[in-house]
Structure 1
Amino acid sequence: MVSISYHTWPMEKRYINWFMIVLLFFAVPVQCLQAKSPQELFNEGVEELKTGEPQAAVDLFTELIMTEPGNAKVHKNRGVALMKLGKVDLAIQDFERALTLNPDLPGLYSNLGAAWYYKQAYEKAVINYGYEIEREPESYVSYFNRALCRVLLNQPKLAMADIARCLELKPDFPKALELQKEMKGFEIQTGAFMNQNNAVEMAGMLEQKGIDTHILTLEDHQKKTWYLVRVGHFADSKEAEKFCKQLINREKITAIVRPWGKF
């Protein structure tokens, strides 16, 4: 089935692999105590996180929350451990609880942004990365992750602005350079429809022939929605033109080269 989005699922999955997971947690030096204190219990949980044992970390943080339910740092760290276990809904609950307890906790909005990204709730992710950037304006990773969300929300101009800012802060960031290059490329348009079903039908026909197809949804200056059937991605126009001619001759369809993500 062809999805109506900025890219079909394979492309979206690739962006998930690009996504920079920067789950921030707190660590405090362990003190030498004869009996376990809340601080020592906390640090044991952190050590379990560091050594790749998130379930053990969850158990320790849960035990600590029973005695310190108002500790925002513990909720945040348990949320990180839950994210590593793939329990995103529970992680969001912990992050939001931490937010209620201490809205100024460093990195909290970044963690929430990551959680909402994996829930494919990209608008919520964008909002949280915005809050994180307000607090940490030099966070190039937050700009990059927000750019990925904006790509998936059909917001190429805003995504490009985030990538540009990311590269100002980190000029040699490979993933940002790759995404910027991709967004400046070209793709083949095989149809433009105002009826979504017509676009799905054409895209489905091409998919059946083994042609990787996606449907780009854009709004024109008159606020009319268009469903554009697109094929491939090419770094330069000559490469795109060559493939376009091959596609026309082989499939006997109308096709033109268009800028990536634009009319």
Structure 2
Amino acid sequence: MTTPPPATHPVASFFRGIGDLGRGFGFWGRLPGRMALGLIPAAIVGLLLLAGIITLIVFLRDIVTAVTGFADGWSDVAASLVRFGIGAGILGGAIVLAVVSFTALTLLVGDPFYERIWRSVEEHLGDAPVESDYGFWRSIGDSIGLILRGLLAAIVAGLIGLIPLVGTVLGAVVAAFLTGWLLADELTSRALAARGWDAAARRALRKGNRARVLGFGVATQLCFLIPLGAVVAMPAAVAGSTVLSRTLLDARAVTGQTDHSAAPIGRRNGA
């Protein structure tokens, strides 16, 4: 009987998730040609979304003024605080939505490129699955779902940003964790689905490794916020998510987990 390894502290697991993204960046040195393919769709989508964010910033003052007419009769200090909070909430929500939309749209537009990166990383690590079982319509459905969840996260972060004094910081923290989780969810789907894991099984696996998954997702999101960082980081995120997925599966095998609700489709059917 296999003895389960000792539990890992959540903070240590969080940093291991960051390390998984670092291992993804390492594939720039191992598979430079494949990784470079991922720059093309990332650059196209990134430029479009950046243009949208810049446009919002240019007109943000006018937008805030238009929606805060109720504060015209307030004192300058009170009106300024409210308008700053609303402006920060709008901009923060837009950034959250842009980050999530960037991932969804880039994976959709560049699916053939990222399919090659995923396959190359799997082959480099060994024991690659036969195929990813990812089709065009499935990619569209996943992208729409991710954008809708990102919109919900943006709304939540924006509302928290309205809280006086602490709202801006608290909203940024909540946005980072919500967005990070969504990014990790989407990016790990291909490697897990290729091994027969359906949505419910993938969700259970990620929840059982929250800290590590969050570490990977938050680190990826922070890279996306750096100017041009999203373009370079996207291929690394695809590679890193493959590493993360395999690591989670290996850890599950070592612990001898027998939860059938989190077992691959084939295994649940007795295959």
Same fold (TM over 0.5): no
Q: When you count helix as a share of all residues, which structure comes out higher?
A: 2
TM-score by length of 2: 0.25
Structure possessing the higher radius of gyration over alpha carbons: 1
Q: When you count strand as a share of all residues, which structure comes out higher?
A: 1
Greater relative contact order (Cα < 8 A, sep 6+): 2
